[in-house]
Amino acid sequence: MYNAEKHFETLYATVPRQYEFRATSREGLLAWQANFRPKLQEALGLDNMASDLKGYEPKAEQLETLDMGDHVRESWYLWVEPTVPLPFYLLIPKGLRHGALALQEGGSERKLPLILAPHGHNHPHIYAGIAYNEKEEAEMVDGERDIARQAVVEEGYIAIAPTTRAFGETRTVADKQANNTHSCRHQLVHSMLVGRTPIGERVWDMSRLIDWAIANLPVDAQRIAMTGNSGGGTVSLFAAACETRIAVAVPSCYFCTFEGSIGTIRHCECNYVPGLMRLGEMYDVAGLIAPRPFCAIAGRDDGIFPIEHVKLAYERLKAIYTVAGVADKCELFIGQGGHRYYKAGAWPFVHRHFEEIT
């Protein structure tokens, strides 16, 4: 009798992984990264996007500025493609002048670290500290998901809370009318037809936001971090693997093994990249971030990213960081709960390593 679980378990165990980490020296690690990163970018469809959009210059449009009392929140669009106006919130500390406003007022710009906080399978505005009903308020407060607001109000950084493509205003008309949270399946099937993936498109968007922020904001380009929960953790891990300008990566409730999470448990279609496990496991992908600081946040009782697989992945990643000579820059924080954000595991790590950079 056919047993699907047994079949895929055998398949995962026998399919060769071309870029499984085997290096024993820092030089070997650097060579491995130099070979693996372009292949990962190709699998994600980033090379196709770079070719299709060669010469395109994204434009930005500001919608509103609100004084929130303890910070300023701005709403923007960034046209990451000619047909994709990506909404994002920009949160800045009170008193900080930037761009044209600083020039008009004759103010000086002091450079601050930048936090990019991509959201998971919930609403983009929650990460900026916005809740429109009691359910969203509970989701935001109990799960500590107002990450961009935390970054500004509690840590004093500049923060961008972007819309993850296929959410918010980037959903299909049908999904908006049906009040569906996302259009991930629609994004997957159509992007695959032209050699793209949802993860690749989201990584592309993060890179374009970094371009814009460095060019237009008083940010310290050496101190850029990315952290998000669940789907935001996915974007954080893959973006940091591909985008070396991200100095610190803190994915929450995502880092695991592919086999033990998206390969075994039902997940959203946006998680899947054709042929990914022929390249490597998740800890191999995360190994592309070394020697930059990496902290995986996990929930002890997370039912979709099981903690035993998280610990296995962390042991393998720690070995990569050890070969890189920076084992102390790879950490695992386990929160005593489920699938949510744990700010106690994020901000001390980010702050410590930002201090090292300065």
The CATH architecture to which 23-357 belongs is: 3-Layer(aba) Sandwich (3.40)
Q: What is the pLDDT of residue 96?
A: 81
Reduce the DSSP state of residue 298 to 3 states and report it: strand
pTM of the model: 0.95
Decide if 60 contacts 79 (C-beta within 8 A).
yes
pLDDT tens digits, 162-209: 999 999 999 999 999 999 999 999 999 999 999 999 999 999 999 999
Percentage of residues in the chain with pLDDT exceeding 90?
94
Q: Where are the domains of the chain?
A: 23-357
Taking residues 100-120, what's their average pLDDT? 73
Reduce the DSSP state of residue 112 to 3 states and report it: strand
Q: Which tokens hold the place of 292?
A: 């930059």
pLDDT tens digits, 248-261: 999 999 999 999 99
Residue indicated by tokens 């399946």: 185
Q: Does residue 48 register a pLDDT over 70?
A: yes
Q: What is the pLDDT of residue 136?
A: 93
Q: What is the pLDDT of residue 241?
A: 98
Please, which pLDDT band fits residue 104 given cuts at 50, 70 and 90?
Answer: very low
Decide if 339 contacts 299 (C-beta within 8 A).
yes
Q: What is the pLDDT of residue 99?
A: 55
Q: What is the pLDDT of residue 249?
A: 98
Residue indicated by tokens 């679980």: 5
Residues facing 72 on adjacent strands: 67, 92
Q: What is the pLDDT of residue 300?
A: 98
Please, which pLDDT band fits residue 97 given cuts at 50, 70 and 90?
Answer: low
Taking residues 136-149, what's their average pLDDT? 95
pLDDT tens digits, 218-234: 999 999 999 999 999 99
Q: What is the pLDDT of residue 357?
A: 87
Please, which pLDDT band fits residue 109 given cuts at 50, 70 and 90?
Answer: low
Percentage of residues in the chain with pLDDT exceeding 70?
96
Decide if 62 contacts 75 (C-beta within 8 A).
yes
Residue 298 burial by CB count (10 A; 0-12/13-18/19+): exposed, middle or buried? buried
Reduce the DSSP state of residue 313 to 3 states and report it: helix
Residue 55 zone, left/alpha/beta (φ > 0; ψ -120 to 50; rest): left
